[in-house]
Amino acid sequence: MPSARNIFVGSLGFGLVSTLGAPAMAMTPEPEEQEGPVITGEAEVGIFAERSPLADRALVSPMLRLGMRVRPEVELSIKGGAFGLFQDSVASGFQAQARPSNLVFQTSFLRERWTGGRWFHFSAGFLFALPTAFSRSVVDDEAYDQVLGGRGGWNAWEWDPHSMGIVVPIALRGQVLERIELGVEAAGGGLFASGASNDSPSLVGQGAADFRYALPWFGVGTRFQAVWNGGREQSRSHLSVVPSLDTSFCRAGTGRRVRGLVSRTSPDCPVYASARFVVNLDRPYGFVGNDGMRVWGLLVGLGWAI
């Protein structure tokens, strides 16, 4: 029969094991999910210039998009901009003027996560383009068209001075290999006459495919765009190729301050800079054919997800 002393020692030993073991289990850290951004946005400036026997022209068109994720899966955003036209023509001499773009309000439903070490993003939504752009002359109409051409005809509802737009966009992109990102994007909707315009409603549609490779310091990519703009009287379809270069800016203490990321932004690297060059292929904006407008575009931007 065990003595009282043996029972006490055994009980004390069990109590120590239980007391010391419980905190050890409680102190084991559980994996934490990365919080998504709350504020997103992008500032972009489009640049186009041309020389001709009748006039020398330069167009600068800044755009700003601001978004807020009211829930992890819902983002509300507003986007707008303007263009500045600087022209020296034989007929009227030098002139400078500015006009606004249409103002775009958008609601997006998002799914963004890391799965098996791979980044994945899906979004679908609804946008309304308020007709804040306006034209007072043929020169204004030409400038709006060239600003849109400098973007490959992409997002026609942003730069149509005679219409408002109702559009449904969708996008899917993700990491397929360690440093390779693929993406597809599409949108479709309608343009509706605004103000004194008597234009009939027209359909607009667009699609794009992206390939991007993330190097240690920056990312390089190529984008293929196809658009259909029923609001044009002729040459309603258009193709363009857009090579790009970007880099991400990271917080101190997280490695290199400048690096290439597959996901463009992350909690450690919330800001990125990008440059894109739009090469228009066919009519109406391209270089193929005698009646092409020969419009190119340089787009320089800064984006963030905080």
pLDDT tens digits, residue range 40-80?
Answer: 999 999 999 998 888 899 999 999 999 999 999 999 999 99
Model confidence at 34, in pLDDT bands (50, 70, 90)?
low
User: How do residues 111-130 score in pLDDT, each as one tens digit?
Assistant: 988 777 788 999 999 999 99
Domain coordinates of the chain in residue numbers?
35-305
DSSP 144: H
Cβ neighbors of 150 (< 8 A, separation 6 or more) are: 46, 47, 48, 59, 61, 278, 295, 296, 297, 298, 299
- Is 237 within 8 Å of 205 (Cβ atoms)? no
pLDDT over threshold 60, residue 16: no
- pLDDT score of 36: 77
pLDDT over threshold 90, residue 4: no
DSSP 230: T
Name the pTM for this structure: 0.85
Model confidence at 82, in pLDDT bands (50, 70, 90)?
very high
User: How do residues 169-189 score in pLDDT, each as one tens digit?
Assistant: 999 999 999 999 999 999 999
Q: Where are the alpha helices (DSSP H) in the chain?
A: 4-26, 138-149
pLDDT over threshold 90, residue 21: no
- pLDDT score of 213: 98
Q: Could you tell me which residues are beta bridge partners of residue 253?
A: none
DSSP 232: S
Distance, CA of 221 to CA of 239 (rounded, Å) = 17
Distance, CA of 80 to CA of 159 (rounded, Å) = 10
Overall CATH class of domain 35-305: mainly beta
- pLDDT score of 61: 98
Average pLDDT over residues 117-146: 93
| Residue ranges of E strands in 72-162 | 74-89, 93-100, 103-115, 118-130
- pLDDT score of 187: 98
- Is 106 within 8 Å of 135 (Cβ atoms)? no
Q: Which of 20-34, 92-106, 287-301 has the highest mean pLDDT?
A: 92-106
Model confidence at 304, in pLDDT bands (50, 70, 90)?
very high
- Is 181 within 8 Å of 174 (Cβ atoms)? yes
Model confidence at 35, in pLDDT bands (50, 70, 90)?
low
pLDDT over threshold 80, residue 22: no
DSSP 47: E
- pLDDT score of 24: 39
